[in-house]
């Protein structure tokens, strides 16, 4: 079974978590794109979606799903998003698609975070995937020096400007044994907008597409 089929199966399973008249938080990436495509079938019973990126907004609008401004929504039930890595505590690395800041904001408002991945994304310890950090452009080199002091090897993602007009450093060679602590430490560096560790707000439900179907775990 291909990786894409596993992503698609995980995304289909997530549709079961959508209740009638729901407002949904929608993440970004190839796995979420399958989820957005699946919304076609239940479009009539969704009130709208809060999007985490321009790319997802465009796709939702093409499907005729109303995209709501987060400032006009004070709560909603579920946020569905992919991840680059997820550990057994349902902590994640995100930001491979450079949407980490808006993803973290939308996830913070949602009552339940449903993470959808294929089985290549599950790990025991986070850090094999280079950790994305969104930075204010003028602070890039300063932040890179501070990240080196934390043991990482930051590389500027040169072809990338985020939806917020910022830049991304991808931090290699980290073995993240205490995600909560590192999330806090990197967030505290002046010039960092968001670090792609999702520990303080991890997932509540993890749906993994595998060779044998989907595996669901809950916190």
CB 178 within 8 A of CB 64: no
Q: Rounded to an integer, what distance in angstroms lies between the CA atom of residue 104 and that of residue 82?
A: 12
Q: Which of 91, 103, 134, 183 is catalytic?
A: 103
Closer residue to ligand 5RP in complex, CB, 95/130: 95
56 makes contact with ligand 5RP (CB under 6 A): no
Q: Where are the strands (E) in the chain, listed by range?
A: 22-26, 46-51, 76-81, 85-86, 92-93, 110-118, 131-135, 153-156, 167-172, 192-195, 197-198, 205-210, 213-218
What residues between 14 and 43 interact with ligand 5RP by CB under 6 A? 27-31
Q: Rounded to an integer, what distance in angstroms lies between the CA atom of residue 204 and that of residue 193?
A: 24
**Least distance from C-beta 29 to ligand 5RP, angstroms?**
3
Which x/- pattern over 96-115 shows residues binding ligand 5RP (rule: CB under 6 A)? Answer: xxxxx--x------------
Residue 13 Ramachandran class (φ > 0 left, ψ -120 to 50 alpha, else beta): alpha
Size of the site for ligand 5RP (CB under 6 A): 17
Contact with ligand 5RP (CB under 6 A): which of 26, 59, 84, 174? 84
Kindly state the tokens that stand for 93: 């690395």
Instruction: Find the part of the chain contacting ligand 5RP (CB under 6 A) among 43-51, 67-75, 90-98, 210-218.
Output: 90-98
60 makes contact with ligand 5RP (CB under 6 A): no
Kindly state the tokens that stand for 59: 């796709």
Closer residue to ligand 5RP in complex, CB, 31/167: 31
Residues that bind ligand 5RP (CB under 6 A): 27-31, 81-84, 94-100, 103
């Amino acid at each position: 079974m291909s990786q894409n089929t596993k992503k698609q199966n995980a995304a289909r399973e997530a549709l079961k978590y959508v209740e009638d008249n729901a407002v949904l938080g929608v993440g970004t990436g190839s796995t979420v794109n399958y989820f957005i495509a699946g919304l076609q079938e239940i479009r009539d019973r969704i009130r709208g979606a809060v999007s985490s990126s321009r790319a997802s907004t465009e796709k939702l609008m093409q499907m005729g799903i109303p995209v709501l401004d987060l400032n006009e929504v004070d709560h909603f039930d579920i946020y569905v998003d992919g991840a680059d890595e997820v550990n057994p505590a349902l902590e994640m690395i995100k930001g491979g698609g450079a949407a980490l800041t808006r993803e973290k904001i939308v996830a913070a408002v949602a009552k339940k975070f449903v993470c959808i991945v294929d089985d290549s994304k599950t790990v025991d310890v986070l850090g094999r995937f280079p950790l994305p950090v969104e930075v204010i452009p003028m602070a890039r080199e300063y932040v890179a020096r501070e990240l080196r002091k934390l043991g990482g090897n930051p590389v500027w993602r040169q072809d990338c400007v985020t939806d917020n007009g910022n830049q991304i450093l991808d931090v290699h060679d980290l073995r993240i044994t205490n995600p909560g602590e590192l999330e806090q430490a990197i967030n505290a560096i002046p010039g960092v907008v968001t670090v792609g560790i999702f520990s303080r707000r991890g997932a509540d439900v993890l749906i993994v597409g595998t060779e044998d179907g989907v595996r669901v775990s809950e916190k």
